[in-house]
Amino acid sequence: MTVETEWNLINFTEAIENYVELTYGDISQIFRNNKYPEYPRPEPLTEAEKLSPEHELLSIELLEKAEARIKDIRKLKQDKVKVYALIKNQLSRESLSRVEAHESYALAEQNRDPLQLWIIILATHLLNTNETDEDYNKQKAMSEYNRCHMTWFESLADFKRRFILRRVVYETTWSDPGDADNGIEPTIFKVPDGTAAQAFINKLDKDRYAAIIENYRNKVYTKPNTVEEAFEFISTINVPKRGARQYSSRKLSIIGEGQRVVAEEAASELRAAVKEVVSTMRWLKNVVIEVVSESGLRKIVHALGVGAHHTGSATAQSESMKPRMPRRAMTDLVSRIRRRYCSCCQMTY
């Protein structure tokens, strides 16, 4: 999984999240928190409130809150179907085919569950797997979470977004939705906020944030309780500007419109192409040396009428009148031609 692939999904997530929030409201939390919004029941009136002079007003306010909660729940139920269709409509044919091949897709399609559909999209695109082996998926999700590190060209805000997405996939894969029909309660796996904050700090780019990481380890800075708290504090510290590493040529970067491409594979292909060209040039040199031998060049020279010696016939006599080249001059010409071919190959002969 490359950083480019992750950022393609992040850009897609942010675009659809903003649209859903503007159009449908609270249900957009499925993209940020990986769960539906919750509407808790309003607290009943206390005994003191019941005996207060404002008892009637408090009762009316409580009733309004209860009605608003019911209204929100009904709206959420209606919006689920709309958001499900919206997400599905935004998938390309290739992405949709991968999602449909997932084992949980049939249930998501039956319930028109946008959250379940989004979890499947994360699993098939970030984990890049359609495996039905639960243990394999858990191991891969944990491995990808541990491998997520800040690249040298990423800003702190960009890395935080990518780190949070990896954390969501990790927690989702390790959670068990349970089975309501069989009375199995769901189990929610969650990386502790403090642990996630420390992991976020340790995964920062060492070239720019080494001093900050060291100060956290030495307890110079107060330990953050959440990733957001760590992000806000680190944002206030001046660090070296990001830029191309002058001491290393292992990674090349192309930063386009919202896309980050680490071109290690392209560099590897380029090196292989250069080796192939050099190999071809060496082969061509051997072919030229073999074909353009001294005897072959002499034949070419004679065919061009340089240094020809013919007598007897009229044609021969007319050809004999052409200027003749001494043997030594012909040898020099052959040598020059041979050297010229070798110089074209950029090889020393």
- pTM as predicted: 0.53
C-alpha distances in angstroms, 231 versus 10, 50, 88, 238, 284?
18, 46, 33, 13, 59
> Does a structural domain hold residue 46?
yes
- Do both 206 and 327 map to the same domain? no
> Does a structural domain hold residue 246?
no
> Is residue 93 scored above 60 in pLDDT?
yes
What is the tens place of the pLDDT at every residue in 53-90?
888 888 888 899 999 999 999 999 999 999 999 999 98
260: left (phi over 0), alpha (psi -120 to 50) or beta: beta
> Is residue 277 scored above 70 in pLDDT?
yes
What is the tens place of the pLDDT at every residue in 171-184?
877 776 655 556 66
Higher pLDDT, 181 or 307: 181
CB of 178 within 8 A of CB of 142? no
> Is residue 135 scored above 70 in pLDDT?
yes
What pLDDT is attached to residue 53?
84
> Is residue 337 scored above 70 in pLDDT?
no
- Do both 143 and 96 map to the same domain? no
- Do both 148 and 189 map to the same domain? yes
**Averaged over 252-277, what is the pLDDT?**
54
**Averaged over 1-17, what is the pLDDT?**
75
Q: Would strands 253-255 and 260-262 be described as parallel, antiparallel, or unpaired?
A: antiparallel
**Averaged over 98-110, what is the pLDDT?**
86
**Averaged over 114-122, what is the pLDDT?**
87
Sequence letter at residue 26 = D
- Do both 86 and 136 map to the same domain? no
Mean pLDDT over all residues of the chain? Answer: 75
- Do both 168 and 204 map to the same domain? yes
> Does a structural domain hold residue 28?
yes
Supply the range of the domain harboring residue 304.
269-344
What pLDDT is attached to residue 142?
85
- Do both 10 and 93 map to the same domain? yes
What is the tens place of the pLDDT at every residue in 213-254?
999 999 999 999 999 999 999 999 988 776 544 433 333 333
Sequence letter at residue 330 = M
